[in-house]
Amino acid sequence: MKKIALHWKIIIGMLLGIIWSLISSSLGWSEFTLNWIAPFGTIFLNLLKLIAIPLVLFSIISGISGLGSTSNLGRLGAKTLGFYLCTTVFAVGLGLLLVNIIKPGTHIDENTLIDNRITYELWAAENNIEVKDDKDFLTNPQYSERVLALSGNEVNENALADRIAIAESVKSRSPLQPLVDIVPDNLFKSLSNNSLMLQIIFFAIFFSVSLLFISKEKARPVIDFIDGALEVFLKMVDFVMQAAPFFVFALLAGVVSDMAKDDTGKVVEIFKGLTWYTLTVLGGLLLMIFVVYPLIIRFLVKKISYKGFFKAISPAQALAFSTSSSAATLPVTMECAENNLGVDKKITGFVLPIGATVNMDGTSMYQVIAVVFLAQLHMIDLTITQQIVIISMAVLASIGSAPVPSAGLVMLIIIMDAVGLNPAWIAIIFPVDRILDMFRTVVNITGDLTVSSSIATSEGKLNYTDKSPSDTFDLDS
């Protein structure tokens, strides 16, 4: 009997989790699901995050120290950042094109559109705010409450307030504060917080570059320790992933049960009013996954076929969809790159950890579509200048988005405020954000794997053979 590949097991677990959650909601068992099944999904995420940080640290040190010279590092770094920047700009441009063509914010009842616009105008007039130029939406709780009421959605207002507060603190910082934030003042503090991944990457690069400048005799014991520790963490990934299908079942069952509670009709109602927005975002994300990235592989890598590419990366895609976290998926992304695509370890150890932090193509595309959609929903025509600002902010914000679920919402607030829109409007898209976040994460890690394969090819370090994941992925061997 043919063994089922890991990615199919994960997909089956996802489907069973969704089916179970709907059954438990219809039977009134949601509390049981949330109390006795969903915690295993949390355990799964915790295990992956536990491994992710030391894996990033040791992978980068191992990868850079193995390059042999700083000239190789400079070349590889330039290629990595250049590739990631190009794919992000393209994703943002594609999202802007789609949202202007489809105009998802206009496909609702005209009276609702007018009501939205009137509310916007009244609020601006009451606060002596010029509609086109105002930047002070965050200080008006009455208007925020009215927007929440008009959206017709149940929203966790505390969560909204928290995100707005975070965005406010980010905006009030020095322009060079993001550069300051990259440099850690305490390594152990950085290692204890997944959102400080850039600080860990900085330390790893600094440490490994320093290794290149000391004698080989003194560096060798350190490198041997790093390489040995890296192998241990990779084996930990193997152990965790053996139970991934069950964990994914628990994770999805908990997510959907938390949305639906004991009313399955609530899920349908939540998505009904946001259909056009959801379809626009999904359309853009699926184009990136199934058209743009395969075209890059076709022209830059060539030896990897369309079918072979998706067969090789499917375990990472399935896990990214279920966890909504590039950081949590990183260990499996690295396994897929090395074992299935044949990317050299030195490339994966450098390119993929950076990609999991700064390459957020799906997040950037969604932010552009969301901002324009919310403007359309309130009958606001954004100027060309404003849309250029959105593109620039989305590209820059992708670097600042932590590789964890729904981090893009916080950056979305900053972008909206930059073009004079009310950040409280993000409450309108809250209900579908979790589902779309799953697809955004798939785009992000697919982009990471595309870039790593392209760079490996340009460096002559791609050893791809057309085998199924079950033949090459450690977890299924």
* Of the candidate ranges 153-157, 235-239, 355-359, 372-376, the one whose mean pLDDT is the lowest: 153-157
CATH number listed for the domain at residues 6-264+274-470: 1.10.3860.10
Note the pLDDT of residue 414.
66
> Using CA atoms, how far apart are residues 356 and 367, in angstroms rounded to an integer?
18
> Using CA atoms, how far apart are residues 58 and 241, in angstroms rounded to an integer?
20
Instruction: Identify which has the larger pLDDT, 141 or 426.
Output: 426
Check whether 120 has a pLDDT greater than 70: no
Q: What is the pLDDT of residues 428-469, one digit of tens each?
A: 776 677 778 889 999 999 999 999 999 999 988 898 887 645
Handedness of CA 322, 326, 327, 329 (dihedral sign): positive
Note the pLDDT of residue 263.
64
pTM above 0.85, yes or no: no
Note the pLDDT of residue 134.
39
> Using CA atoms, how far apart are residues 469 and 477, in angstroms rounded to an integer?
9
Per-domain residue ranges of the chain: 6-264+274-470
Mean pLDDT of 336-364: 87
Tokens of 132: 């086109």
pLDDT band at 112 (very low <50, low <70, confident <90, very high): low
pLDDT band at 292 (very low <50, low <70, confident <90, very high): very high
Instruction: Identify which has the larger pLDDT, 272 or 236.
Output: 236
Check whether 409 has a pLDDT greater than 70: no
Instruction: Identify which has the larger pLDDT, 325 or 315.
Output: 315
- CA end-to-end span of the chain: 15
Phi-psi region of 434 (alpha: psi -120 to 50; beta: other; left: phi over 0): alpha
